[in-house]
Structure 1
């Protein structure tokens, strides 16, 4: 790989992917709608070309993909806009990749797996999502596979990390950094996975650099599942935070959803806070090698330091 296009480069995983690619001396085109944010994130990075614009602008996407070996699809849309935009976006990326002869690496989540009775979940498990958003993600996956474009589909659990602001854990971290009473979404006794974006990007780029990893699904788990109360204790140790942390229940989010479209859309995914999908990294470790595994303490220290620097 000589040149990569990262669409959605201003988001949490997009930012991590750009940094990891640059660390491997790969030329990167960082694409997102918000030019001001792209400049703030990447203006001092060598080997990064900033391109701002609409991902649905076909001519702009064609220009951006000129000379590119692989397109990393890290675009995220607000929950309430998934129906409107996600399928259009994957169609556009496939069309551009077919015309340019490039590969596609799709940043995916765990929604398509649906409810699973057995953990950890392997890539070969049958996907039967019961939620609207899970069905959208599975449709995206199937479209990509039917396109015949060489592709990677990489499943990540919930994320946290520098610039990862559109995540379920971000609101907790933001209030801790600001010294305010924090909220935590879900049961604080249930162990769930939170993946450090830096680890996710390292694993995904490693997969993208190989020839025998394409036209497959790959799971990239977190270092280990962790309960909310354990995360809070780590945060207290790191920051000296003394305030209480309030559990945000499904009932509270349903109430907020009456006036907030985004909160209304969160409700259907809350089963994951009670019945978490825990990913198996066995395939990656067997075929690629050891997974990047930053401890929660180190990952949270680095994330909070980044947040304070940007405050």
Structure 2
């Protein structure tokens, strides 16, 4: 790969994918809507070309994709827009890849798997989504697989890391950084996965460089589960934070949903805080090798250091 396009470059995983590609000397076009944010994130990187465009304008994508070998799809849109726009966005990316004979690497979540099986899920686990958003993600997967575009789909658990501003853990960490009373989404006693975005970026870039990876799904786990209580204890161990951390319950999100359409849409995904889906990464390890892994202590420390610099 000599040149790549990263769609959603100003988001959590997109940012780390751009950084990972650039660190390998690969020329990257960073695509997102807001030029100022792109300039702030990548303006000093000689390997990165900035393109401020609209995912829903195919001409913007086609112009940005000129000469690229792989398109990394790391963009997301608000939950409230998924039903109307998610498949349109994905179709635009697929059509752009076809026009430029580019491969595609999709950053995906775990929604399509549906409820937890009680054990780790692998790529052979039947997908049986019970939520509206899970069913939409499965439709996206079917769209990709019938497109005949060389594509790989990487399933990730929830993110945390540098610039992962929309993540659940960021919601907790942003107030820790301000030394204010913080909140944690979900039962603090339940263990679940959170992947450090630079680890996830390394994993999907490694897959994108291997021809055998295309035409398949890949699970990229965090390698460890951790409870909210353990996260908070780790935060206290590495900082002087002593404020209380309350729990954001499903009922609280339902109440906020009366006034906020985003919260209203988030309610159906709350089950992941109660019945975590944990990924099995054996397939990746057989093809590529060990999954990149940063322990939670180090990942949280680096994430908070990044956040402090941006404050």
TM-score range, shorter chain: over 0.9
Q: Tell me which residue corresponds to 1:219.
A: 219
How far residue 85 of structure 1 moved from its aligned partner, in angstroms, is 1.6
**Residue deviations 1:248-290, cap 9 Å, x none?**
1111111111111111111100111110000001111122100
1:117 aligns with 2:117: yes
Other-structure match for 1:309:
309
State yes or no: 1:169 paired with 2:165: no
Q: Provide the rounded CA distance (Å) in 1 between the counterparts of 2:159 and 2:61.
A: 27
Tell me the SS of whatever aligns to 1:116: coil
Q: Does the 8 Å contact 1:223/1:295 carry over to 2?
A: no
* Structure 1 SS opposite 2:153: strand
Give the Cα separation in 2 of the matches to 1:293 and 1:61.
Answer: 33
User: What TM-score comes out, normalization by structure 1 length?
Assistant: 0.99
CA contact (8 A) 1:35 1:52 kept: yes
Task: Determine whether 1:289 maps to 2:307.
Answer: no
Alpha-carbon offset, residue 238 of structure 1? 1.3
Alpha-carbon deviation of 1:116? 2.7
Cα distance in 2 for residues equivalent to 1:19 and 1:226:
26
Alpha-carbon distance in 2 for matches of 1:102, 1:91: 14
Cα distance in 2 for residues equivalent to 1:239 and 1:130 = 40
Aligned to 2:209: 209
Residues 194-233 of structure 1, C-alpha deviations (whole Å, 9 max, x = no match) = 0000000000000000111100000000130000000000
What is the CA-CA distance between 1:88 and the residue it aligns to? 0.5
For residues 92-121 of structure 1, give each alpha carbon's deviation from its aligned partner in whole angstroms, at most 9, with x where no partner exists. Answer: 011111111110100000000001323210
Task: Look up the match of 1:104.
Answer: 104
Shift of 1:128: 0.8
1:181: which partner in 2? Answer: 181
Report the counterpart of residue 235 of structure 2 in structure 1. 235
Match of 2:12 in 1: 12
Q: How many angstroms does 1:247 deviate by?
A: 0.6
Distance 1:210 1:24 in 2: 15
Matched residues, number: 311
Q: Secondary structure at the match of 1:169?
A: helix
What residue in structure 1 maps to residue 159 of structure 2? Answer: 159
Unaligned runs of 5+ in 1: none
On the 8 A contact 1:8/1:31 being kept in 2, the answer is yes
Partners of 2:150 and 2:119 in 1: CA distance: 29
2:77 aligns with: 77
Worse-superposed segment, 222-231 or 53-62 = 53-62
In 2, Cα distance between equivalents of 1:60 and 1:77: 17
- Give the structure 1 partner of residue 132 of structure 2: 132
- Residue aligning to 1:40: 40
Q: Structure 2, unaligned stretches of length 5 or more?
A: none
- Cα distance between partner residues in 2 of 1:91 and 1:76: 14
Partner of 2:87: 87
Per the alignment, residue 62 of structure 1 pairs with 62
CA shift for structure 1 position 59: 1.6
Distance between the aligned counterparts of 1:297 and 1:85, measured in 2?
A: 37
SS at structure 2 position matched to 1:5: strand
The alignment's TM-score, normalised by the length of structure 2, stands at: 0.99
Runs of 4+ in 1 over 6 A off after TM superposition: none
Quick one: distance in 2 between partners of 1:62 and 1:287? 32
* Other structure's SS at 1:127 match: coil
